[in-house]
Amino acid sequence: MTQTARKQNVTISLSPETVRKARILAARRSTSISALLAQQIEALTGEDEAYERAGRSCVSPMRQGFDLGGVITASRDELHER
């Protein structure tokens, strides 16, 4: 998401202790709780999207198969003779 992208507000419920700790953490990082949460959610969604892309890029070659350079010299019947 770009810096100029339109934003939407979200409401969450946290315990008072979590809010207290979040205020301290945000103050240490010179930011707000809202900005702190937004950064973390954007990081999580970005990681998830990257994971999905990586999965798709790995599965595609497997579906196509691999040419290992071997040559089949026996027929199916010869291989399954008993």
**In this structure, which long-range contacts are made by residues 73-82, counting pairs with CB atoms below 8 Å and at least 24 apart in sequence?**
none
* Gap between the Cα atoms of 51 and 13, Å rounded: 29
What per-residue confidence (pLDDT) applies to 2?
A: 55
pLDDT along the chain (82 residues), means of 10: 77 96 97 95 91 85 81 86 74
What per-residue confidence (pLDDT) applies to 30?
A: 97
* Gap between the Cα atoms of 17 and 26, Å rounded: 14
* Gap between the Cα atoms of 50 and 47, Å rounded: 5
* Gap between the Cα atoms of 1 and 4, Å rounded: 8
Q: What is the largest CA-CA distance in the chain?
A: 77
